[in-house]
Structure 1
Amino acid sequence: MTNHSTKSLVYIAIGTAIIAALSQVSLSIGPVPFTLQTLAIGLVACLYKPKEAIASLALYLTLGAIGLPVFAGFSGGFAALFGPTAGFLWGFLVYAAITSVLTKSTSSPVTVFSACLLGTASCFLLGCLVFKFVSGASWSDTLAWTVLPFILPDLAKITLVTVCHSLLQPITKKEAFFS
């Protein structure tokens, strides 16, 4: 195993741990809890190369699927990947992929913000669709429970990701893994 692949595995594990830790900062405000998962996902996606960002999310989902309590509210289990909020969990993977790919070549604050906004929108879309399908809720209830309460908090998290990325960028540029 090369030094680069060892370092890559370590960063994937760190990214997964950060996502799992911030997933536990949770506030229940309906069927979908408010967490700091998307803040962690945005940071990992903007700082990591696409392969490592996606691998971090895939590992996070795998750990949750096998029952480790890494999902919001210290939950886990295979059923979480197919329940009413499963679309958000799968959407996190899409969020990481979109955001990481879009910020790979340029990392201006506008690009980071826009990429995170697009990633968040994709997560909302997938989460909303799965919630509607699995729960049988009306479209108005689905939007009221899964999207509307989260718009402003998610915009704040996207702004925080953008600021943190700008602050961390001088440090990460010195590390070959991030470039």
Structure 2
Amino acid sequence: MIVYSTIQFGLQSGHLILLYLYFLFILPTVVFMSETLDNFNNKDDSVKIKKMVLAALFAALIAVGAYIKIPIGPIPITLQTFFVLLAAVTLGRNWGTVSVIVYLLVGFIGFPVFAGGNSGLGILFGPSGGYLYSFIIVAFLCGWLSDIFWKKARSKSAENISKKSANDSIIMFGIAVLGSIIILGVGTVHFAFSGSIPIGTAFLSGFVPFFAGDMIKSIAIGVVSPSIIKKVNFKNF
């Protein structure tokens, strides 16, 4: 009971209807945006389809994660960052970024998919705006780092790839930690400037309270992501 009273889901009936429309919207949007990827035609078809579907799924999960929150101040802790980072390391630079962009686009046009059921471009100028646009930076950077690591793994034999490796989890954990620090750093700086708050105060309010939770999320990503990545990226795995 304590957990359920602390974690607020906030899924009101009106929001559920809008989220349903959102889920209908994201997959066509992902398909449309896929045409902008430079290497779209160079990917294996089965991998391409998997990533397209997962990009839509992660966009939805990021939205759902915004509703699962722990209120500790002006900027609540949510599961958004977990799904953003998981999308980045799982889907890589291109599709991970597409997933985040689709999520942000539907929020900007009016769907209540941001934390607290908020939407619209105005959210970018609020205290949590920096965290939102940092998602794109992190999806691109962490996805790129993940691509580099797994490209090297692809050169290994299928037998080696199929083996569970602690190194895989450590690397994914490290990438997630880097992404978390970037999100918190960019978000904190924006929080300070948007509210004319001293950077030290903003750091204590916008960085410190979230760091431990983000490390737990990073550990979870390190544990679960390697198996998902291998299923998505390696044919016949």
TM-score normalised by length of structure 2: 0.68
- 2:193 is matched with 133
Q: Give the C-alpha shift of residue 6 in structure 1.
A: 5.8
> Do the aligned partners of 1:98 and 1:118 also contact (CA within 8 Å) in 2?
no
- In structure 1, distance between residues paired with 2:99 and 2:172: 19
Q: Counterpart in 2 of 1:120?
A: 180
Q: CA deviation at 1:124?
A: 1.4
1:145 aligns with 2:188: no
Structure 1: runs of 5+ lacking an equivalent: none
1:32 corresponds, among 69, 75, 85, to 75
* Superposition CA RMSD, Å: 2.2
The secondary structure found in structure 2 opposite 1:152 is helix
Deviation for aligned residue 1:166:
3.0
Structure 2 distance, partners of 1:164, 1:152, is: 19
2:95 is the counterpart of 1:52: yes
> Given residue 113 of structure 1, which amino acid in structure 2 is its aligned partner?
F
Within a 5 Å distance, the mapping from 1:9-20 to structure 2 comes to 9-20=52-63
Deviation at 1:17, TM superposition (A): 0.6
2: CA distance, partners of 1:86 / 1:130? 7
Please name the residue that 2:26 is paired with: none
Change in CA separation of 1:47 and 1:86 when aligned onto 2, cut-off 3 Å = same
Task: Classify 1:137/1:68 alpha carbon distance in 2 versus 1 (closer, same or farther; 3 Å).
Answer: same
State how many pairs are aligned.
Answer: 177
Give how far 1:175 is off. 4.9
Q: Is 1:42 matched with 2:95?
A: no
Deviation at 1:49, TM superposition (A): 2.4
Query: C-alpha separation between the residues in 1 aligned to 2:181 and 2:144?
Result: 16
Amino acid at match of 2:189: L
Using the aligned pairs only, state the percent identity: 27
Q: Distance in 1 between matches of 2:215 and 2:85?
A: 12
How far the C-alpha of 1:7 sits from its partner, in A, is 5.4
> What is the CA-CA distance between 1:154 and the residue it aligns to?
0.5
Q: Distance in 2 between matches of 1:10 and 1:166?
A: 18
- Give ranges in structure 2 of 5+ residues lacking alignment: 1-34, 36-40, 151-167
Q: Distance in 2 between matches of 1:168 and 1:60?
A: 21
8 Å contact from structure 2 (residues 112, 118) kept in 1? yes
CA distance in 1, matches of 2:146, 2:84: 13
